[in-house]
Amino acid sequence: MKIAIDPNIPFIIKPLSSLPGAVLTHNLTREGVHDADIVITRTRTRCDASLLDGSKCRFIGTATIGTDHIDLDYCRRAGITVANAPGCNAPAVGQWVLSAVRETGGYEGRTLGVFGAGNVGSLLIRWALSIGMKVLVNDPPLQAADPGRYRFSTLDEIAAQADIITVHTPLTRSGDCPTYHLIGDGFINTLRRRPLVLNSARGPVADTAALLRGFEEGRISALGIDCWEGEPHISPELLDAALFATPHIAGYSREGKVRATQMVLDALSEYLGLPERLIADAPMPRPVPEKVAPSDITYDIFADTRRLKSDPGTFESQRNHYDLRPEPGQ
């Protein structure tokens, strides 16, 4: 059994190597996966017909919360099982957001507008409420499916009331509620409180040109960008404008990486019908706390910002070799 695996996924080589007859490769090109039975990847590998047509692959595990790098329709037609790791990095992203909020005026009495209340957004909502923030929630698909979950807010309400706006939606380009360029000129032109705007979801959820216009025209007071359009070749203008600028590492905690690896291994164990599940080569983290205190938010977001701003050409290297930080409560 040949397994093609992204070399930057931690804690996974030892359990995969324990599989009888396993042959591991880090070659994720079309040639490398042609005779691979299993592909384990991250967001940087586009898994579609151009990579997979004619291959033996019947299982893709992605150690990420999202699947927008995988052509799910193609995989369904080709009989390829796809597994991801929803929520694995939610505490780390919450930590990144609340670190940015701490550095721009603190928590008490401020209003946080959250776009997307899935695994990441829902945890952030709980944590923000626990440290004294007011929270406005916008998630039209969730509102339609579970209208009683939150007191949902419209885009206009968030634009009028939020001191900080943070995005935690998947990237979608079609359907009833596409999120591509959700933060664009139309929304930014309605902002009333000159908010801090944060993107730690997917780069194209926010329109780079619109963010810059909003900042230059004074509609946005500050920008925090972890996910960029065109990664790893990011906009130098947006990098210069951003108060917080990090190389797509908002979710990069040690605990989050362990969770992601274990979730992929769980799915693979089930797919293979193993009598005992494969176990990540690291201790499992403690349960995620329901609440946090301001003293729990110790991540130095400015240190990662200085690193990226000083050498943006090493964006991908900084991301791949990031020193995984601990989460609150771990």
At CA 69, angle to CA 63 and CA 70, rounded to 5? Answer: 85
* The domain boundary residue, chosen from 202, 217, 245: 245
Whether residue 58 is found in the same domain as residue 119: no
Q: Give the number of residues written for the chain.
A: 330
* CATH number of the domain where residue 67 is located: 3.40.50.720
CA distance 311 to 201: 23
Residues 79 and 97 in one domain: no
Q: Count CB atoms within 10 A of the CB of residue 75.
A: 21
Q: Would you say residue 276 lies in a domain?
A: no
103 shares its domain with 240: yes
CA of 20: how far to CAs of 2, 17, 194, 219, in Å? 11, 8, 58, 59
Prediction pTM value: 0.93
| Total domains, the chain | 2
Q: Do 111 and 49 fall within a single domain? A: no
**In this structure, is residue 58 part of a structural domain?**
yes
Active site residues: 202, 231, 248
Q: What is the DSSP letter of 325?
A: B
C-alpha span between 138 and 133 (Å, rounded):
16
- E strand residue ranges, the chain: 2-5, 23-25, 38-41, 59-62, 81-83, 111-115, 134-138, 164-167, 196-199, 222-225, 244-245
Domain identity same for 33 and 97:
no
Domain containing 160 equals 90-245
Q: Which residues pair with 41 in a beta bridge?
A: 62
Residues 95, 235, single domain; the answer is yes
Query: Does residue 136 share a domain with residue 119?
Result: yes
If asked whether residues 70 and 94 sit together in one domain, one would say no
Q: Where among 219, 245, 271 does a domain terminate?
A: 245
Judged by phi (left if over 0) then psi (alpha if -120 to 50, else beta), residue 87 lies in left
| AA letter at 63 | A
* Helix axis angle, 90-102 to 119-130, nearest 10°: 40
CA atoms within 13 A on the CB side of 317: 6
Question: 178 lies in a domain?
Answer: yes
Neighbours of 10 (CB within 10 A): 16
The answer to the question of residue 311 being in a domain is no
**What are the pLDDT tens digits along the chain (330 aa)?**
999 999 999 999 999 999 999 999 999 999 999 999 999 999 999 999 999 999 999 999 999 998 999 999 999 999 999 999 999 999 999 999 999 999 999 999 999 999 999 999 999 999 999 999 999 999 999 999 999 999 999 999 999 999 999 999 999 999 999 999 999 999 999 999 999 999 999 999 999 999 999 999 999 999 999 999 999 999 999 999 999 999 999 999 999 999 999 999 999 999 999 999 999 999 999 999 999 999 999 999 999 999 999 999 999 999 999 999 999 988
Residue 330 placed within a domain: no
Q: Which of 309, 280, 284, 327 is nearest to 18 (CA)?
A: 280
Which of 54, 84, 114 terminates a domain? The answer is 84
259: in domain: no
